[in-house]
Amino acid sequence: MLQKNQKTELAAALFSALGAEVPHQPELEKEAQALLERCGSRSGALKKVLELCDPAQTPQALYLSAKACAWLGSGWREKNVEFAAGYLQGPPWAKLPAGSSLENGIRTNKTAAVRADLLRDMAQAELVLGRLSDAHSHYMEACRLEPYNAMNFIKAAEVVERRSGREEALRFLRGQRKSGWYAPVKYRDAAGRPCTNDLFRELLNAHILKWEQKSGGEDEVP
């Protein structure tokens, strides 16, 4: 019989076999692939990940369980929130990406990115469950952790729309044009060529324009 830590490592390898980018032991990949085939379906394999992690008490088991529930979606949102909250309240899984990296001219914190990803999962689950205050709070925390990621603000605006209407959501999104991340980031690539990263601006304005058109708004996108 597998020990608890061995089960969790197998769960990580199984989740990786499903396409998740999670740390796992390469030597378990063959066993995980065979287990995936026995599970017979994606949902069956995700439920097996949860079974192998149960009881989810370590950072590794909590993280894997939270992400598996997020992938399962309907029927698993309460558990998604529970596992994600448990992970975020404790120490991080040491094998997850840490430190910083420079991506398209933006210095990103990998630990913060992991937390923001879990917060988005929680917030989406809470939005579906009708817990709008919690969903808004968690999306805004993701915004704080990744202020350069326009999708965090766009998702937060979706909650604002549910709570206060589209015009208030548009007001929130337009306010992000004052963010320091709205201005294009200029940098040089590995070959020394000058580049511009204006993804924040493009995503934000595209979403504002879409909502303005639905609302019959006439504001121009700069």
* Same-domain status, 203 and 182: yes
pLDDT tens, residue by residue, 47-66: 999 999 999 999 999 999 99
Residue partners of 154: CB distance under 8 A and separation at least 6: 173, 203, 204, 207
Which helix (H) or strand (E) element contains residue 24? Answer: none
b/e per residue, 142-158, with b = 16+ CB within 10 A?
bbebbbbbbbbbbbbbb
* Same-domain status, 105 and 32: no
> For 101-123, what is the mean pLDDT?
97
> For 108-132, what is the mean pLDDT?
97
pLDDT at 107: 96
> Residue 176 in contact with residue 203, Cβ under 8 Å?
no
> Residue 17 in contact with residue 37, Cβ under 8 Å?
no
Cα–Cα dist 142/152, whole Å: 6
User: Does residue 140 carry a pLDDT above 60?
Assistant: yes
> Residue 71 in contact with residue 14, Cβ under 8 Å?
no
Cα–Cα dist 195/188, whole Å: 5
Cα–Cα dist 207/222, whole Å: 13
Q: In this structure, what token pair is assigned to residue 116?
A: 């923001």
* Same-domain status, 24 and 67: yes
Work out whether the CA dihedral 71, 75, 79, 85 comes out positive or negative: positive
* Same-domain status, 83 and 104: no
pLDDT at 5: 83
User: Does residue 222 carry a pLDDT above 50?
Assistant: no
Backbone torsions φ then ψ of 22, nearest 5 degrees = -130, 145
Cα–Cα dist 140/66, whole Å: 19
Residue partners of 212: CB distance under 8 A and separation at least 6: 170, 218, 219, 221
pLDDT tens, residue by residue, 155-198: 999 999 999 999 999 999 999 999 999 999 999 999 999 999 99
Domain boundary among 88, 122, 142: 88
User: Does residue 115 carry a pLDDT above 60?
Assistant: yes
User: Does residue 151 carry a pLDDT above 90?
Assistant: yes
> Residue 104 in contact with residue 187, Cβ under 8 Å?
yes
* Predicted confidence band of residue 220 (pLDDT cuts 50, 70, 90): very low
Q: Is residue 95 part of a domain?
A: no
Domain boundary among 34, 54, 88: 88
pLDDT at 157: 98
Using CA atoms, how far residue 116 sits from 3, 24, 34, 168, in Å, is 31, 21, 33, 24
pLDDT at 120: 98
Domain boundary among 65, 88, 111: 88
Total structural domains within the chain: 2
Range of the domain at 147: 100-215
pLDDT at 214: 82
pLDDT at 1: 61
The domain that holds 109 is classified in CATH as 1.25.40.10
Burial bucket for residue 176 (CB in 10 Å: 0-12, 13-18, 19+): buried
pLDDT tens, residue by residue, 17-56: 999 999 999 999 999 999 999 999 999 999 999 999 999 9
